[in-house]
Amino acid sequence: MSAILVINSGSSSLKYSLIDIEQENLLASGLIERIGQDVSPVAHTVRPAVDGDAVPTMLDATYRSERPITDHAAAFEMMREQFAAHGPSLEEHRPVAVGHRVVHGGARFYAPTLIDADVERQIDELAVLAPLHNPANLAGIVAARAVFDEVPHVAVFDTAFHQTLPPAAYTYAIDAALAAEHRVRRYGFHGTSHQYVSAVAADFLGRDLADLRQLVFHLGNGASVTAIDGGRSVETSMGLTPLEGLVMGTRSGDIDPAALVHLSRRAGLSIDDLDSLLNTRSGLAGLAGRSDMRDILAGVEAGEDAAVLAFDVYVHRLRAYAGAYIAQLGGVDVISFTAGVGENAAPVRAAAMATLGFAGVEIDPVRNAARERGIRRISADASPVTVLVVPTDEELQIARQTAELI
């Protein structure tokens, strides 16, 4: 058995997964939160052993505790303790490689990359484009390479899948010399998820990925949509940063840039104030005081004006992007919904697709409302466009790309 350890290191968290890459089975996963605070919650989940296609006869076992964890190096030691105490044994399932999620690869990194000192330096340099993400990703890399120093480490970049965007799609219409000097362009994010979902959708339909025009809506607390032509990203809604595009849990998405100038002049907001406003006090939270779509839907059911408006604004943006991207593709064959909202919020899916009959989209209300697990079709049999719900698995995709490189 060959195991790959997948690391997603945040500014104050460490998420990990141990995956048997030969069977593509998750062996264990964990989450360590509030690193650097007084008390850090630790959750370690062990999957029951399964041979081949056998059905598990036991439930996952999750072990929870709280400890003071000062930094990412201490978090990795805690992770090792969890494996030693609860399994599976890292001696018996010693990782053959470690795959790391890195949010921003700029224009330099267009594929999974073996990590060395120079790659670490470049990830650090790219922190100017992702100051909330890349430093945390790098901290995880440094800590992991110290612990697992005998195996290769691979960086898988959120932005890499979008390196196929044409210049017309990634170029902003501002002063060209200034944009080039400061690397201002569209990079796109959630690439690992968009790539995984589009490939899984093609497999599910028994179609060649190269023949399909697809839209993938990754709708979680962060949200983006990507137009994929023959397996290549050709349009995506997030831009220089993960702020542009769709309405999100706490992020505004698209906004007239002059509104920020206006708020600076009239409300006296500083650059940091505006950054906080757009990233943490906007989106659903800004409109309705709640960032979770489940709470918004409950508010809609209760007839709350703010929740109804937030839902309508959210759906209006989804429809606008769907129409624009269908036009860029010259039509669409498959539309997939993924991530927390995309997989679980049937009213969002129904409302987003309701006006796309002109493009050949017809949702089956019963299929859409069914609470089922796994990949499933929610379009009507007669719909020329297939609409799917596809659970994303970014960790498995990172493990696959890591395995391909080593």
Q: Residues marked as binding?
A: 8, 15, 101, 218-222, 292-294, 340-344, 394
Q: Could you say which DSSP state residue 161 is in? A: G
Q: Could you say which DSSP state residue 167 is in? A: H
Amino acid at 236: T
Alpha-helix runs per DSSP H in 108-171: 117-125, 134-147, 167-170
Q: Could you say which DSSP state residue 17 is in? A: E
Cα–Cα distance measured from residue 15 to residue 31, given in angstroms and rounded to the nearest whole number: 4
**Strand ranges in 68-161 using DSSP code E only, listed in sequence order:** 95-102, 113-114, 153-157
Q: Could you say which DSSP state residue 363 is in? A: B
DSSP labels for 347-358?
A: HHHHHHHTT-GG
Cα–Cα distance measured from residue 334 to residue 389, given in angstroms and rounded to the nearest whole number: 11
364 an active-site residue?
A: no
DSSP labels for 257-275?
A: HHHHHHHHHHH---HHHHH
Q: Which residues 6+ apart lie within 8 Å of 108 measured at CB?
A: 122, 126
Task: List the catalytic residue out of 53, 71, 158, 254.
Answer: 158
> Which residues are documented as binding site for Mg(2+)?
8, 394
Residue 48 and residue 58 in contact, taking contact as beta carbons nearer than 8 Å: yes
| Residue 364 CB coordination number (10 Å) | 16
Count how many residues are written for the chain.
Answer: 406
> Which residues are documented as binding site for ATP?
15, 218-222, 292-294, 340-344
Catalytic machinery residues = 158
